[in-house]
Structures are given as C-alpha cells and as structure tokens.
Structure 1
Amino acid sequence: MAKAVASTSAPGAASGTHRIAPLWGTENYNMWRIQMEEILSDLDLYGYVNKTIIAPSKTVLKTKRNRKDDKGKPLPNYEYTATNNKYTKWVKADQKALSNIRLRVDRSVLNLIQGCTMSANAWNALATTYQVKGTVGLIDLQRKFFSHQMTDGKDIKEHIQRMRGWFQQINNISPGSCTEANWITTLIASLPDSWDLFSQS
C-alpha cells in the first residue's frame, strides 16, 4: 500500500503547497532529504537547518543618552541590556523550518524529533538515524536493490520510487558503483511475470 502524502501550506511560502511523501524510514530517507532541501531552500529556510545562518546574540547593549534629572540637569549616559530583535526574528524563522520538517515525517518518525527545539537538531537526528553509511550499509542496500521483487497488485510507482531510492543511496556511499544500465536491468528484472510484455517493449 502506498504511503500517505503529506500536504501542508508551508510557513513563509508566498503561494502554493509542497506535497511530498513523508519520511518513514531508511528506505525513503534519501529521496525525502533531497525534496526537503528543495522545499526549505524555496522558503529561504535551509540556512537555518544547515547552520549557515548563524543565530545572533540573544541580547544587545543599548545606551540611553541625553538623560536629565527632575531639575533638568544632565545625567550621564546609561547602558542597559535589551532583547535583540534580530535574534527574535531568527528564532521565528528557525521554528518555521522545524515545523516544515515535522509536518513532513511519519508519526512514528515524529517521536524521534518531537523533543528538538531547533531545526538543525531535528535535521541531524534524522540523518543520524536514517542515512545509510559505511560498508555494511552499502552491502545491505545492494542486497535490497538487486534482489527485491515486486509482487502482483503492488503499486508500480511506489516500487520504482523504492528502487530508485536504493540506487541513489548506493551511489551516495560509493559513487559510480551502480550504473544507469544496472538501474534499468535491475528494475525490469524486479517486475512480476504480468509485466513481461512491458519488459520486452
């Protein structure tokens, strides 16, 4: 059964919606990450996630000048600490980024990041949990990619997305190790007998 599609009007968007399949695990993480990077970039929020937009200081030092006492005599300048408006705006934008991430993950995945208060923390937690790395991960992905078989009645679009996700993750770990020719032949070989006519065309 195909996964549900997350639909939401993204905060900060001028118009339109961004619809993508929610993140549910390792199998669709790579595709989800790419799509989320596009969404967050379109909303000018990706800099908060990858920490290229640094948080300003929470407070700023201000000075009161031209002070006078009750008799009108001049008083020395007075320095005080005030809330930094730039920090307040930064927090608001970062929360928009965090909200966009939370709204596009499965409920089971949401449990992992519900305690995160900053978008970068949530983003990194998802990467640590679902991004496949290392030799063991590569072998597991190759096993899934080359041996997976679609059963009759399953959604072909979901099957192709899953296979493509494995293909891209393999090449992310080991660039060039899986060619487009491998992709085409493996995809065709993974289709059930009822798709023989399609495979031969």
Structure 2
Amino acid sequence: MSSGAKEGPSVSYSILPIFGGGNYNFWKVKMRTILLSEGLWSFVERGLQEPEDLSQLPAAEIEKFEAEVMKDAKALSKIQNGVTSDIFPRITRAKTAKEAWDTLEKEFQGDSKAITIKLQTLRREFYNMKMKESECIQDYASRLAEVVNQMRTLGEEISDQRVVEKILISLPEKYDPIVAAIEECKDITTLSIEQLMGSLKSHEQRRLTRNDQSVESAFQSKLSFKSQKSSKKGNSRDDQRTGEQRRWKKGESSKRDESKNGKSTNSEDNQPSCRICNKTNHDTSNCWNRGKPKCHHCNKFGHVEKNCRFKKANQANFSESKNDDDGNENLFSTCLSALEEKESIWYLDSGCSNHMSGNENIFLDVDTSATPNIKMGNGAIVEAKGKGRIAVKGDEADS
C-alpha cells in the first residue's frame, strides 16, 4: 500500500561550533566530529579528487563526480559557517573544504616547528603541575585534563596510565594514605582515570565531613583547672574551697569563744583584701596584676580599653556558664578565649594544637616574650600577651 505523498530527503541539522580566534584545537575536534558524522571528513582530509578530463568519463562517472562536488561544497559551507566574521575573510578564496581547513590549520596551529614549540611548553607545564593545598580534586583534574587534551590535539601520545601516575605523584601530603592504599591494592597499569577519580573524591568527601564534625562539635571532655597556688600544693580548687569553708567556720567558732572571754583577734579570713584585684589570698605588694593596666570595658588587667578584644561584638563564640551539682562552674569555649575569669571548667577542641585563655591566674608560668599573632573567628588579627603552661585535671583521671 503506497501513500499519496512523497517523502523528501531527511535533513539533519547540527549546531556548529563557532571559531573566533581562540581555542582552535577545541574547535577543530568539534568540527571534525560533525564532518565525520555526516560523511564529509574525507573531503577535508584527502580533498576533492578531480579527474584529468571530465569529458572523457562515462555518464555514470560524471554523475558520481558531481555528487562528490556537492558533498565537498557542503563541507566547505560548514567550515565557513563555523567561523566568525573576523575569521571568514581568511578563507574566502578557498574553493574546496581542504583548502579552507588547511588555511586555518596553518595560521592558528602553525607549522611543524611551531607545533613542536607548543608541545615543549605543554610538556613542561604537565611535568611541573601539582595540586594546590586549597584546591579540590575535581578542579585539579580539570586543569590537568585541559593540558593533556591540548597535547593530544597537537599529536602527543599520552596514555591513561601516564595520566594516572601523574595524578598520584602530584597530590598534596594529606592524600598520602589514599595514594598508598591505591598503589598497594590496585593495578595502576590497568586503573582508569575515572576509577582513580572516584576513589580520590570519596576520600576527599570523607575527610571534609570529619573536619566539619570536629569543628561543629568540640571535644566533649571537661577539664578542671588547678590554680597556680593549689597545683603546687597538690590540692584541687574544690579542696581549697572546702578548706576555706572549714577555716571560716573555725574562725566563727573562735570569734564566739573569744567574745565570751572579752578578747578579739584577726583571723586569716579577716585579713585586708588586695587593693588592686580585691582578692583576699594575698596583699597588694604581691599582687599578680600589680603594675599592669586595667581595661575599663571588661575590668581585666593587662590591656587598655582601646585594645580590648571583648569590645567588638561576635569576637568569640561562647555559651553561657552554668553551675554543676558539685558547685563547679562550666564554660564552653570554641578555641578562642573565656569571657570570665572565675570559671573552672574548660572545653578543649581535639582538633587544636594550641589553646587560649584570658585568665592569667591559671598559668603555672608565662613567657611574655612570645607574642604570636592569632586570627580570630571574624578574621581580625590580635596579638597574644604571652605563652605558658597550665595544669589540668580530668573528671575521671588526673593528668
């Protein structure tokens, strides 16, 4: 059964890549693929084969040659439409697709000598390329693939095995564990680039996830500080408070006894407080803060108000302190500084190699000559007042 309408020839339209003078090698690969898909690449590669005397050919051969002329013209049309108006004048005199292609090839890719020079530059870039510390594995692979593709376009033979080996030896030190595992457990000679990238991306994602968790949740181990005075005696602050309470009760009892006998005396608890810090465990001449400036913003010693790090909002992230059942006070600090000096509990971040505190009373010794710069959470840079040692005691075991 035949239909009344005739079917016309099927026409396929491809979106042509446009060449404007840059990235010629990429445009060349795309255009070659389009011409191959439409059976026209042979006219670019070998050119149109013209007979010596067309009049001597039989009619069938003449018809075949005319069909080839049409295909060559179609290939030339695609090349002409694949360049911008700035590039088009360079190929206006080309009569065949091969002439137009060779003209662009010679101008934008160069002759054999120019290609050799370009390859030398790309080889040097390939050998010296390394992944940056701040770079993710995908970005580095894209940079490397761009250089490899340019080298292959210029005729350089680079196998996937060579690319795999290059990636493994150019990763930062933080990738050493996964690199060692891949070299031990997998055959690098048959390992594809896609398989390698999958393993590296999985390792990178696990590492980033662990880093995020360590930042968001500080190490949940509470450590009690020993004061400088109590640590030398081997007593904790709780023992010191208990002893002070016993002495206070004993003093009250002594007062009552002495009042009955008509006598009065000054006990240890009745000694005058320090006029600098208002504490009663030392006199003014032995005060730790003697001679230090006092901030009128936070009432702490060692700095003036204009240099106070607590004056700016959101200078440090902290949680409000609260009392435990045993009377200890808790404070959560995210690797910055505590806001009050009286707190006896500190949360330490397991991801930090150094910790900070604004309470000088907890230090066993302080080296004021060490004043490193510290980057705060909001990006500000402050200078430390010193570096020293502290004594800590855990909840379950002394350290």
TM-score tier after normalising by the smaller chain length: 0.5 to 0.7
* Residue pair 1:170, 1:177 contacting (<8 A) in 2 also: no
State how many pairs are aligned. 152
Q: TM-score, normalised by structure 1?
A: 0.55
Residues 29-38 or 133-142, more deviating: 133-142
Alignment pair present for 1:115 and 2:96: no
Structure 1 residues 5-154: aligned runs within 5 Å: 14-25=10-21, 27-51=22-46, 54-57=49-52, 59-61=54-56, 84-131=62-109, 133=112, 134-141=115-122
- CA deviation string 1:147-201 (max 9, x = no partner): 8xxxxxxxxxxxx6x975542222344322894348869xx99xxxxxxxxxx54
Percent of aligned positions that are identical: 24
* Residue pair 2:16, 2:82 contacting (<8 A) in 1 also: yes
Q: Using the TM superposition, give the Cα deviation of residue 111 of structure 1 relative to its aligned residue in structure 2, in angstroms.
A: 2.0
Residue segments in structure 2 that go unaligned for 5+ positions in a row: 1-8, 130-141, 173-203, 206-399
Q: Tell me the SS of whatever aligns to 2:158.
A: coil
Give the distance between the partners of 2:57 and 2:165, measured in 1 at CA: 64
Q: Tell me the SS of whatever aligns to 1:107.
A: coil
- Partner of residue 73, structure 1: none
CA RMSD of aligned residues (A): 4.3
- Partner of residue 175, structure 1: 157
Choose between structure 1 and 2: higher helix proportion. 1
* Residue pair 2:19, 2:27 contacting (<8 A) in 1 also: yes
- Higher relative contact order (CA closer than 8 Å, sequence separation 6+): 1
Cα distance change, pair 49–62 in 1 and its aligned pair in 2 (3 A): closer
Q: Tell me the SS of whatever aligns to 1:176.
A: coil
Q: Tell me the SS of whatever aligns to 1:108.
A: coil
Q: Using the TM superposition, give the Cα deviation of residue 16 of structure 1 relative to its aligned residue in structure 2, in angstroms.
A: 3.6
Give the distance between the partners of 1:28 and 1:52, measured in 2 at CA: 25
Give the distance between the partners of 2:65 and 2:76, measured in 1 at CA: 16
Q: Tell me the SS of whatever aligns to 2:15.
A: strand
Give 1 or 2 for the bigger CA radius of gyration: 2
User: What letter is aligned with 2:18?
Assistant: P
Residue segments in structure 1 that go unaligned for 5+ positions in a row: 1-12, 64-82, 148-159, 190-199
- CA deviation string 1:132-155 (max 9, x = no partner): 5543212344577778xxxxxxxx
Q: TM-score, normalised by structure 2?
A: 0.31
Give the distance between the partners of 1:52 and 1:111, measured in 2 at CA: 21
